[in-house]
Amino acid sequence: MRVGDVLKSNRQSLATCIPEDSITSICTRLSALNIGAFPVCDARGTLVGILSERDVVRAFARDGARLADMHVRDLMTQEVVTCATDTTMVEAEKIMGLNSSAIEGVLGYTEGPTLIHADDLALTARRAGA
């Protein structure tokens, strides 16, 4: 099974943010959407980073109340691990394992960024074993 197959079966739209978004608004959106990270795209839709709950928590521990004055560009991880939609799920799992400290998922591309989460890997493995 390939990343593209999983993305098609998920049929979910991916929420993104822009570097200029405030951290306050992003925290509200993370909570409302019940998600853990946003791919960050510029005005052209190009992936320029990722912002996770982990980034926000670490910044809060470091910067405290100043976090309310910050923007996505201040906290986002700029080096994002990606893969193609024709990458096998086995390879995606290896990529995630090698980069586990940096990401919670692997970004794949169709017409824009899409996210494969560790839960998708577990579900694919269960289906393969069944």
The CA R_g of the chain, rounded to the nearest whole Å, is: 15
**Beta strands at 47-52 and 82-84: parallel, antiparallel or unpaired:** unpaired
- C-alpha 15/C-alpha 12 separation (Å) is 9
For the residues 66-92, what does the mean pLDDT come to?
Answer: 87
What domains appear along the chain, each with residue ranges and CATH number? 3-129 (3.10.580.10)
The pLDDT, as a whole number, for residue 57 is 94
Q: How many CB atoms lie within 10 A of CB 127?
A: 10
- Does pLDDT of 101 surpass 60? no
Contacts of 86 (CB under 8 A, 6+ apart): 2, 3, 4
The pLDDT, as a whole number, for residue 26 is 96
Q: How confident is the model at residue 122 (pLDDT cuts 50, 70, 90)?
A: low
Q: What percent of the chain has pLDDT over 90?
A: 32
- Does pLDDT of 30 surpass 70? yes
For the residues 33-55, what does the mean pLDDT come to?
Answer: 88
